[in-house]
Amino acid sequence: MAEFNLKEVASNNAFGGKLVKYKFKSIALGGLDTQFNIYLPPQAQQGKVPLLVYLAGLTCTEDNGAQKGGFLGPAAERGIAILFPDTSPRGAGIEGEDDNWDFGTGAGFYLDATNPKYSKHYNMYTHVTTELPQVIEAASIPIDAKKQSIFGHSMGGHGALTLYLSSKNAQYRSVSAFAPICNPSKCPWGEKAFAGYLQGGVSEGKERYDATELVTRTTGPINVLVDYGTSDSFYKQGQLLPENFVDAARKAGHDESRLIVRGQEGYDHSYYFISTFASDHIQFHAQFLKE
């Protein structure tokens, strides 16, 4: 196993457990320093606990979900750890990566870049699914690697759905998302990301990183919860497209009792919305993580 030279940056007590921030040099991100937070509930003092991975949205860091999501209390009650990765590599020095808020730094889209300009550093898919579990295991952090689920917000909701559907029945037991980008090959955010990061552009992104496409090729039962706000400006602009995801899943014959998509009246895209339904999402995942 690779040597990651993990360093503890900070630690805060919360709900009887601890939120710990770590830093290490990431191989997946081209040798750059990266940070993540992990919340260990009080039950982790007695042994290994299940893991829920939270993927944050555009412009965010590893701190947003930990500080504002409202997840830690419910996670402590259910004995579930939460991993909060960053949203992109930082400091790659690639020309143009800091020009726009919705591409480059803070906007890694949880894919592995194939455009040579970005492929050395922009590999968030591998970072989240492979590297961070290896880091956690190497550091003997008390996580039960056989019990993992994933959730996220906006771009991170896209990432959560994509990673879950790509690794169906392998890595993650369930997925949930707040205001996810459900059909990125058909919205401006996703088209921009795919055109920039992927050598094959939008067609490659549609094939590999679009939840609405992936769900049509997913067999067997799925465990999905999605919440979005009906007053979300990005929903109204056509960036999220949850209806497309539901239609695709329905046409693929998925059991709709295991595919819960809820439009929350009057809610927006913010962490006020996320924190309102945070407990629902923790409880949803607990069904599968505690089996």
DSSP string, the chain: ------EEEEEEEETTEEEEEEEEEETTTTTEEEEEEEEE-GGGGTS-EEEEEEE--TT--TTHHHHHS--HHHHHHHT-EEEEE-SS------TTTTSBTTBBTTB-TTSB--STTTTTT-BHHHIIIIIHHHHHHHTT--EEEEEEEEEEETHHHHHHHHHHHHTTTTS-S-EEEES----GGGSHHHHHHHHHH-TTHHHHHHHHS-HHHHGGG--S---EEEEEETT-HHHHTTSS-HHHHHHHHHHTT--GGGEEEEEETT--SSHHHHHHHHHHHHHHHHHHHT-
Task: Mark whether 233 is an active-site residue.
Answer: no
Looking at 227, 232, 281, 285, which residue is catalytic?
Answer: 232
The segments of the chain whose pLDDT lies below 70 read 1-3, 168-169
Task: Mark whether 154 is an active-site residue.
Answer: yes
pLDDT, one tens digit per residue, over 80-90 is: 999 999 999 99
Looking at 154, 166, 174, 176, which residue is catalytic?
Answer: 154
Domains of the chain with bracketed CATH: 6-290 (3.40.50.1820)
The pTM of the full predicted model, rounded to 2 decimals, is 0.97
Task: Mark whether 166 is an active-site residue.
Answer: no
Looking at 153, 254, 269, 285, which residue is catalytic?
Answer: 269
pLDDT of residue 219: 86
